[in-house]
Structure 1
Amino acid sequence: MDKKTYNEKVKQTAPKTDELRTLIPAFLVGGLICSIGEGFKDLYAYLFPALKEAEVGSAVSATMIFLGALITAVGLYDKIGRVAGGGSIIPITGFANSIVSPAMEYNREGVFYGVCAKMFTIAGPIIVFGITASVVVGIVGLFL
């Protein structure tokens, strides 16, 4: 089967999605997650005025990662993801979900061969690509 025939077959059999029905929940949930992060930023800046902006940002990131991991552990993040799609994956809470979810799934195989070996199956390539891209951009920026 050639590429053209394959693409036509996929187009015929793939379910049609209503873009508006997927974009609105993604936008609202993603915005809500980011608003919660901004709320923590304001709270930490108010409670700890001696912290620098970068330190507050680190505390907010750690808090959001913890919350994403917690919500994944209690089984809510998958339900949110079904409704919100990319709106729940793109924020930093989605990163926590991508690590905790496989760790929970492979927990029955043991700590080493299950949790440790499978924990980065989803997030690992993203981390590698992110580091590689940042190095390439840094080198290009150095010479420009």
Structure 2
Amino acid sequence: MKTITPEEYAQSVKAASPPSPIVKDCTLAFLFGGFVCTIGQVLCNLYQNLGLELPQARMAVSISLILISATLTALGWYDNIAKHAGAGVLVPITGFANSMVSPAMEFKSEGFITGLGAKLFTVAGPVLVFGITASVVYGLIIFIFQI
């Protein structure tokens, strides 16, 4: 059995790997990310025109983008969009919603409660526990030091 050197292995990997179109990928990520931001701004303006104050409109935008992303994931469309958009849709809040719903959808055949709901909580649980714990610790620090 022949052992190969790290340099030979690197050459093998380079020969087997397809070239990455970095400029194209970055351009698509920029355009799709900008499109997500544009949708967010349109929603924010719409919610303000409907009578919400700016802080409430921003919260409604976040909820709307999460709902849209989760729905697109449930329909199986989000992955197809992400193939072309790359980081443009994976980094913002839409990517977070996709990462929460996507693993849960694999277990929907086990039922909505024992399959989908249980897996969704398994994924969301650590995020929620960390977020709530961090906010309590932060609140205590502010309270103790009167910042």
Work out whether the TM-score is over 0.5. yes
Q: Give the whole-Å Cα distance in 2 for the aligned partners of 1:114 and 1:8.
A: 43
- Alpha carbons 1:102, 1:121 under 8 Å: kept: no
Structure 2 residue aligned with 1:33: 36
Structure 1 runs, 4 residues or longer, greater than 4 Å off: 120-125
What value does the CA root-mean-square deviation take over the aligned residues? 3.5
> Larger C-alpha radius of gyration, 1 or 2?
2
Distance verdict in 2 for CA 1:78–1:124, change over 3 Å: farther
TM-score, length of structure 1 as denominator length: 0.74
Task: Report the secondary structure of 2:19's partner residue.
Answer: coil
For normalisation by structure 2, the TM-score amounts to: 0.72
- The one-letter code of the counterpart of 1:33 is V
State the alpha-carbon separation in 2 of the partners of residues 124 and 26 from structure 1: 29
Instruction: Report Cα offsets for 1:22-47 as digits up to 9, x if no partner.
Output: 11111111110110010000111111
- Alignment-mate amino acid for residue 70 of structure 2: A
The verdict on how the C-alpha distance between 1:9 and 1:72 changes in structure 2, with shifts beyond 3 A counting, is same
CA contact (8 A) 1:95 1:123 kept: no
> 1:122 and 1:60, CA in 2 relative to 1: closer, same or farther beyond 3 A?
same
Instruction: Write the mapping of 1:131-142 to structure 2, written as runs, cut at 5 A.
Output: 131=131
- Deviations along 1:48-79, one digit per CA (max 9) or x if unpaired, are 1xx33211111111111111111112221111
- Contiguous gaps of at least 5 residues in structure 1: none
Counting only pairs closer than 5 Å after superposition, residues 74-113 of structure 1 correspond to structure 2 as 74-111=75-112, 113=114
User: What percentage of aligned pairs have identical amino acids?
Assistant: 39
Equivalent residue letter for 2:72:
I
Partner of 1:65: 66
| 1:26 and 1:85 in contact (8 A); partners too | yes
Q: Aligned residue pairs: how many?
A: 137
- The equivalent residue for 1:119 is 120
Quick one: distance in 1 between partners of 2:11 and 2:117? 40
Inter-partner Cα distance in structure 2 for 1:123 and 1:23: 30
Q: Please tell me the residue identity of whatever aligns with 1:5.
A: P
Q: Which residue of 1 aligns with 2:17?
A: 14
| Consecutive unaligned residues in structure 2, runs of 5 or more | none
- Distance in 2 (alpha carbons) for counterparts of 1:14 and 1:121: 35
- Taking a change above 3 Å as real, the CA distance of residues 14 and 97 of structure 1, as seen in their structure-2 partners, is same
Alpha-carbon offset, residue 99 of structure 1: 1.4
